[in-house]
Amino acid sequence: MKVRCTLSEVEKSYIPSIYLWTLKCDEETEIRMDIHRLVAPFKKGDKVEVEISKEMPHFVKGQDFAARGYVITKRIEDNKYRVLISLWGFLVVIESSSRSVFDEFEPMDEIYMVIRKV
C-alpha cells in the first residue's frame, strides 16, 4: 500500500510525549496513529507519502519515519474497512471505504511502515 496524505491533525495524547496524528489521504482513506515526539519528523500540514509493505521499503535514516510492526486485526464497521496495526505498541488505524487495503493484509502479518515528506 502506498498513498499520499496530508498530516491534517496533530494532538497531544493523555500519555506524556505521545502525539495523535490524523493523515487525510485520498477521498477514501484516513490514517490515525500514535507517535512519540522524539520520532515525529513532520508537522501539521505536511504532505507525506505513506508506504506499508511486507518488505522493507527504501527510507532515508534521520529524515523519514520507518517502523516495523504487526497487523492486529481487520474490521468492517459502518461500511468502512479498518486495518489495525501495532508498531511496537503504538497503534495505527487505517480506515477506508475501499476494500483494497483490507484485502492486502491479514492478522499477524509482519509489516513495515515508512512515512516520507513529498
- Per-residue pLDDT of the chain in tens (118 residues, 90 and over written 9): 999 999 999 999 999 999 999 999 988 999 999 999 999 999 999 999 999 999 999 999 999 999 999 999 999 999 999 999 999 999 999 999 999 888 999 999 999 999 999 9
- CATH, domain 2-117, list 3.30.420.10, 3.90.650.10, 2.40.50.140, 3.40.50.720: 2.40.50.140
How far apart CA 34 and CA 58 sit, in angstroms, is 22
Question: What is the amino acid identity at position 109?
Answer: D
Find where cell 492486529 sits. 72
Q: Where are the domains of the chain?
A: 2-117
How far apart CA 116 and CA 48 sit, in angstroms, is 5
Question: Are the beta carbons of 117 and 46 closer than 8 angstroms?
Answer: yes
How far apart CA 2 and CA 51 sit, in angstroms, is 4
* Reported pTM: 0.94
